[in-house]
Structure 1
Amino acid sequence: MERETTFIHLTDLHIGRPGHDDPHLFSDTTATLETILGMIATIEPRPSFVVASGDLTNRGDAESFQALKSVMARLDLPVVYALGNHDTREGFYRGFLDRAEDLDAPYFHDQVIDGVHLITLDSSIPGQIGGAIEPEQFAWLERVLETHADLPKLIVSHHPPEIGDEGEFAPWRSIRGEDTAKLAALIKGRNVVGILSGHIHYDRVTVWHGVPVVIGMGQHAATDILVKDVLRMVNGVSFAIGTVRDSGLTVSFVPLPSDRAELNRYPLDMLRKLNEGMAAAAE
């Protein structure tokens, strides 16, 4: 009989700091997360784990991570966390892990849950919107991909790999091109059944070098993909239910009701300049 392992994919939770008025937080993300956790509790078969693929908070401060920790405490399942560009490593370590040392270190890790090898990368680069994979992570990834060779592998990364020429026109949307190429070379022939990501705020699946890259809309707001000249954000929330089988990966998206009302607009040139300015400041 074919083995099946069910999991939940959350992303872009954008939990805010309690009692803090944040003009860049467009919905009640805490209430949304609580609703989704209630839905997860009804799913059969019971999921083996939850993946939360970055932008866990909206501001990255320790208080927001403490709030996230409090909400997630009601979930009686293992949770695999990744960091996104809205998060900060220090805020996560202090507020979520109660850690007080090595606060600048990237957060990458792997574990086996119910027959699935989960490999989590930290694609966040402090001070930047777009993503990258640091050399130490690539060295670690090369080693860890050699382990558990008989098990299907899921890679978790907040930023997805660069697809086509999107990096040339929107460098903030993905892992930078040179790191995307390195990642593609490393995972070739390594039993990677999928990559779970977020960041761009709409549901998308791309078969990339034979591997499904699954991006979730997330729990904050949605990108209106029908509008190309600006980044138009509208009401929209979803999460995903995934199943890993011997034959591969299945993902079903669960959208919550939405009127798709406009929340904000970002000029593309502003985002490009902001990303370039952040990158220059980080050098």
Structure 2
Amino acid sequence: MTLKLVIMSDLHLVPEGEISNTLDTAERLRQAVDSVNARHADADMVILAGDLADLGEAEAYARLPDLIAPLAMDTHLMLGNHDDRPTFLEVFGGGYADENGFVQKVVDTKGFRIIMLDSTEPGLVGGRICDSRLAWLQARLDEAKNMPVIVVLHHHVARLQTQVDRIRLEQPEKLLAVLKTHPDIRHVISGHVHITTTAIWQGIPFTTIAGGHYSAKLHLESAPGHVKLVDGPGQYGVVLADDEACLVHFENFIDGHHEIHRENFGRLRAPRR
């Protein structure tokens, strides 16, 4: 029996009538939803792994339910550094928060435990998992010693050796130490960095998904100049897991390569159609 997950990230929704960094993020999400329904309607669930809104505005969050309503499977929401936790909970309800107020949860299905971990900290672009969240994670892992585990969080954990490492998860070795107490961590999957990467750190596999907003071209930290930002791909991950393996595919629902110049960054009115 195969578990199939679709993981989206970095939606960056804005209020009606606006665009973000030259991109109509609501239209891009509509295309992602259409792609999932057309190509992966047999998925067990969809996880939206943070940066749901561009600036954490209630008006942006209010657009999300209608945009994802056509999805044919259960959908789970997570937060990223662009999100605002109190505003999100006002719009979607306090039931999304755990006992400590964090937007994180566990889903057990098809013999797997899927842990959605809140790595967002107010005022930080990078991520933080405080002691209470680490304790919550440890408890959820201890409950599932005999189950394979997939962890999803917004911020990247493994060092990528690019300029984005300055906005990496703080003290990632603490998270790694907790993960290593479990005998079968199949994958740790993130968004945040707008680029597709894979890594193995001390035996645990880590992946990042480019997401639905702009994408970043590879630019190692030793390279001169600045990273080039482009309008594609719009991408989500497709995870296939069974008794033997855990596989992550990258589905590009939008192709693109046009550069977005930094002077065009920011929020603009949407063009008339």
Q: Same fold (TM over 0.5)?
A: yes
The 10-residue stretch of structure 1 (228-237 or 121-130) with the greater mean CA deviation from structure 2: 228-237
TM-fit CA distance, 1:78 = 1.6
Matches within 5 A, 1:126-275: 126-163=122-159, 170-176=164-170, 178=171, 180-190=172-182, 191-226=184-219, 228=223, 229-236=225-232, 237-265=234-262
Is 1:91 aligned to residue 83 of structure 2? no
**Contact conserved, 1:110 with 1:118, CA < 8 A, in 2?**
yes
Question: In structure 1, how many angstroms separate the alpha carbons of the residues matched to 2:110 and 2:57?
Answer: 33
Question: In structure 1, how many angstroms separate the alpha carbons of the residues matched to 2:86 and 2:6?
Answer: 26
TM-fit CA distance, 1:135 = 1.1
SS in 1 for 2:35: helix
Q: Deviation digits for residues 121-174 of structure 1, max 9, x if unmatched? A: 1111111111110111011111110113222211111001141766xx655431
The 10-residue stretch of structure 1 (216-225 or 249-258) with the greater mean CA deviation from structure 2: 249-258
Q: 1:94 to 1:25 in 2, by over 3 A?
A: farther
Structure ranking higher on relative contact order (CA contacts 8 Å, 6+ apart): 2
CA RMSD of aligned residues (A): 2.4
Question: In structure 1, how many angstroms separate the alpha carbons of the residues matched to 2:41 and 2:104?
Answer: 29
Matches within 5 A, 1:15-164: 15-19=13-17, 21=18, 24-43=20-39, 46-97=42-93, 105-163=101-159
TM-fit CA distance, 1:81 = 2.0
Q: 1:211 to 1:45 in 2, by over 3 A?
A: farther
Question: In structure 1, how many angstroms separate the alpha carbons of the residues matched to 2:141 and 2:262?
Answer: 40
**Contact conserved, 1:240 with 1:251, CA < 8 A, in 2?**
yes
**Contact conserved, 2:159 with 2:165, CA < 8 A, in 1?**
no
Per the alignment, residue 7 of structure 2 pairs with 9
SS in 2 for 1:262: coil
**Contact conserved, 1:223 with 1:231, CA < 8 A, in 2?**
yes
Tell me the TM-score normalised to structure 2 length: 0.85
Q: Deviation digits for residues 104-134 of structure 1, max 9, x if unmatched? A: 9322221213332111111111111111101
Q: Where does the alignment leave 5 or more consecutive residues of structure 1 unmatched?
A: 267-283
Tell me the TM-score normalised to structure 1 length: 0.83
One-letter identity of the residue aligned with 1:77:
M
Percent of residue pairs bearing the same amino acid type: 25
Question: In structure 2, how many angstroms separate the alpha carbons of the residues matched to 1:117 and 1:101?
Answer: 19
Q: 1:212 to 1:80 in 2, by over 3 A?
A: farther
Question: In structure 1, how many angstroms separate the alpha carbons of the residues matched to 2:160 and 2:255?
Answer: 30
Q: Where does the alignment leave 5 or more consecutive residues of structure 2 unmatched?
A: 264-273
